[in-house]
Structure 1
Amino acid sequence: MSEPKTNGRSSPIAYSCYFNRNREGEQFAPEHVFSYQLSGTLLINTGDSEHVFNEGDFRFIKRNQLLKFVKQPPVGGVFKSISIYLDQPMLRDFSIVYGYKAIEEPFRGEAVMRLNGGALCKSFMDSLMPYTGSDQAIPQQLQVLKQHEAVMILLQSKPELQNILFDFTEPGKIDLEAFMNKNFHFNVQLKRFAYLTGRSLATFKRDFEHIFHTSPSKWLQQRRLQEAHYLIKEKGRAPSDVYLEIGFEDLSHFSFAFKKMYGMPPSKLVG
């Protein structure tokens, strides 16, 4: 079998299983995620840092993050991970019932972090496996109970997570130029960039053109092609290895845009 299996995102509990090949891509994490690596290796790049998780590792991903990932099965084996998503409505209800709230300044540390785990975390993750079968209908109340259990375990294993889990503020207006120069390689819609910089889409476009003197779409393509040129010419990377990394969806579109900008296909730079 070569295709992934998952129980779908209608449930807050997700199980990933990949056979015989690496899978890479990117995603926006709108909610906090608590995960356990059952087998294989997961590489996550946030733009600021890279994180590697191996079999037996626990991780926490802060909400509102752009991430690139590579899922690597072990030799002759299978990539497996299980995750539970901690959404804002559930956390708001939890904070009211149990009296938790963020008690310090907004969290400024790593968006992706390794957790020490231990027997309590391992037992909890094992208890999620019956929830991952596609042929089972798990009542929503039970799923919410597992989310509450996950929050309690996280607070016990890493108390400082309280300031992340119960911070319900939305992204504030930040330095747009610095943000875009850091995150241009993420292939997301402009409305996502706008949200993450604390702006409406209209304000984002207006501020962007004031700073960069061009439209976001034109700047993004030019900046991605510049990065591709550097990676291919200076770092010896193959075009087929960089087009996804710098934000293009397919190789043919990348090659066409590259030739239009530089007067030659990217393959001419190789070697």
Structure 2
Amino acid sequence: MFNFYEFKFQQTDRLRLLTCGDSMLTFYNCPLENKFADIWSQHNYIIYVVEGRKVWHTAHGAFDLKRGDCVFIRKGATIVEQFFDGSFCLVIFFITDDFIRETLKTKSKPINGEWRHYNPVITINKNETVGLFYSSMLAYFEAKMMPDESLVELKFKELILTVADDPKNEELRSYFCSLLQEPQSVSLQRVMNDNYCFNLKLEAYAQLSNRSLSAFKRDFSKLFGTTPGKWLLEKRLKHSMRLLTSEDKTVSEAAFESGFENTSHFSRAFKERFGISPMAARQQQLV
């Protein structure tokens, strides 16, 4: 699983990048390589699909993105499914939690929203203002001179304030409120529940929850009453059991979609936990 955010910084010979601190904007024409790509990002990102189609697979379902779609993807991990019948091109904004918070604090009228479950991929209402905004950004990629970073910062703020002002973006507005208000314990719990089925290292989970590795382990133990390794194994095994018995997944599919590195490790852990092999569990359901 590779870091999507850091990967973009390594593609400067192929991409036009506009940066503002840790935030980044790029116009991205994706080459077709593997059918599935395991990615994660420590920062949120907003995507506007210019051309093509891809599916973002998350712990809470699949999200099919096509030409003209505009979405906010919360920081975390996902499996991206690619299609080989055409190219895929997008404009992508990587935006940190801190940048969102500081921008929202400048609003003359604060937004309100109730805490609730948030999808990993949140649809943005593509009204005329949003459409014009993206059209204006394309000009910066075609210009010979790079815009001043202060101008790029203003454009990032413009996008955040534009989507936050639209009452049709109810879920995203509510999520923005949670960034301003929710306790750190709630944030940590959300990160783990959204990303347990992906093969991430503990350092990545710590980064997603804005903690050092030692602080992450300490806070995790206080919150869940066990170690991250034990909790992740239990969550992944229960998830794999559901995939095998309720969604008719193969053993290899269940292992992959539950965050295990290989099927042999998965099979050993599964049998030790449930007393039967993954294949036997799947066959019992099929009978």
Q: TM-score, normalised by structure 1?
A: 0.69
2:236 alignment counterpart? 224
Match of 2:88? 79
Whether contact under 8 Å (2:55, 2:81) holds in the other structure is yes
Conserved 8 A contact 1:13-1:132: no
CA contact (8 A) 1:90 1:144 kept: no
Give % identity: 20
Higher mean C-alpha deviation, range 234-243 or range 110-119: 234-243
Tell me the alpha carbon deviations over residues 168-198 of structure 1, each in whole angstroms, 9 at most, x when there is no partner.
Answer: 2354434999986775313334463797599
Q: In structure 2, what residue type is equivalent to 1:108?
A: R
Deviations 1:70-98 (A, max 9, x none): 243461x1112212234344445544554
**Do the aligned partners of 2:113 and 2:175 also contact (CA within 8 Å) in 1?**
no
| Offset of residue 109 of structure 1 | 5.4
User: What is the 5 A alignment of 1:167-246?
Assistant: 167-174=179-186, 183-190=195-202, 192=205, 200-208=216-224, 210=225, 215-225=227-237, 227-228=239-240, 231-232=243-244, 235-246=247-258
Change (3 A) 1:151 1:186: same
Structure 1 vs Structure 2 CA RMSD: 4.3
What 5-or-longer segments of structure 2 have no aligned partner? 1-10
The secondary structure found in structure 1 opposite 2:30 is strand
- The letter for the 2-side match of 1:15 is F
Match of 1:43 among 13, 31, 55: 55
Give the distance between the partners of 1:183 and 1:129, measured in 2 at CA.
33
The one-letter code of the counterpart of 1:204 is F
Mean alpha-carbon deviation: is it higher for 259-268 or for 178-187? Answer: 259-268
- Please show how residues 42-191 of structure 1 align to structure 2 within 5 Å: 42-61=54-73, 63=74, 65-73=75-83, 75=85, 77-95=86-104, 97-102=106-111, 104-108=112-116, 110-111=118-119, 112-131=121-140, 137-158=146-167, 160=170, 162-165=173-176, 167-174=179-186, 183-190=195-202
Secondary structure of 1:148's counterpart equals: helix
1:20 alignment counterpart: 32
Cα gap change, 1:55/1:219 in structure 2, threshold over 3 Å: closer, same or farther? same
Measured after TM superposition, the shift of residue 137 of structure 1 is 4.2
Distance 1:142 1:179, change over 3 A: closer
3-state secondary structure, aligned to 2:54: strand
Instruction: Indicate the SS of the match to 2:155.
Output: helix
In terms of fraction of residues, the more helix-rich structure is 2
Residues 18-65 of structure 1, C-alpha deviations (whole Å, 9 max, x = no match): 23343432424533x33211122232344334322211111123x5x4
TM-score normalised to the size of structure 2?
A: 0.65
Which stretch has the larger CA shift, 228-237 or 42-51?
228-237
The verdict on how the C-alpha distance between 1:73 and 1:125 changes in structure 2, with shifts beyond 3 A counting, is farther
SS of the aligned residue for 2:181 comes to coil
Corresponding position of 2:6: none
